[in-house]
């Protein structure tokens, strides 16, 4: 599990964040390969820090749920396990907002988590529906590998960006990313 957390935090999350920044910049017509590398270097440390903390919290909650449901027998531990399960679902919903909050706004690690949890709490059904759409599209694209490679990544970036920008409009907030 530690290898998966490190791999996703050190490689997958920063690349996804840089791709999201390029998707945002391509709306203005200024997305390019040099900008991808610049965004990757610019957001790398913050993305790694956020996703390492997220991965550690996710794995600890998952282990706690397994311990509460399968290894311990008292009723109190089952209740604690249910609370941990709800917290895990809430953590998954908040995880949808981590990349946009890193890339599209200038936030510290603490502010990223605070805003992600507030957005997930305030927009729970919409976030659940957005994640459900992404999972169903991923399952559909997994039947044909070229669709998964060519379609899903782009859809993921633009869907996440449009969804987040729609929420920013709802709260009368602006994206603070600098486009050159």
d(CA 150, CA 144): 10
Are 98 and 48 contacting, i.e. CB atoms less than 8 angstroms apart? no
- What number is the average pLDDT over the span 82-105? 93
- What number is the average pLDDT over the span 2-6? 85
- What number is the average pLDDT over the span 47-70? 93
Phi, psi of 175 (to 5 degrees): -80, 135
User: What is the band of 76 on the pLDDT scale with cuts at 50, 70, 90?
Assistant: confident
pTM of the model: 0.86
**Residue 49's pLDDT is what?**
93
Residue 28 burial (CB count, 10 A): 9
Q: Longest Cα pair distance anywhere in the chain, in angstroms?
A: 60
């Amino acid at each position: 599990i530690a290898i998966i957390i490190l791999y996703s935090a050190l490689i997958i999350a920063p690349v996804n964040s840089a791709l999201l920044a390029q998707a945002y910049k391509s709306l203005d017509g200024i997305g390019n390969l040099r900008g991808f590398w610049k965004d990757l270097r610019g957001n790398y440390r913050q993305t790694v820090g956020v996703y390492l903390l997220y991965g550690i919290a996710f794995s600890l909650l998952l282990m706690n749920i397994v311990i509460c449901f399968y290894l311990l027998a008292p009723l109190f531990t089952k209740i604690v396990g249910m609370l941990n399960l709800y917290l895990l679902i809430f953590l998954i919903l908040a995880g949808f907002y981590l990349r946009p909050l890193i890339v599209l706004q200038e936030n510290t690690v603490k502010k990223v988590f605070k805003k992600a949890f507030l957005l997930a709490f305030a927009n729970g059904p919409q976030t659940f529906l957005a994640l459900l759409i992404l999972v169903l599209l991923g399952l559909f694209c997994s039947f044909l590998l070229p669709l998964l490679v060519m379609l899903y990544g782009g859809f993921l970036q633009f869907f996440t960006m449009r969804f987040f920008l729609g929420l920013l409009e709802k709260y009368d907030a602006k994206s603070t990313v600098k486009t050159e």
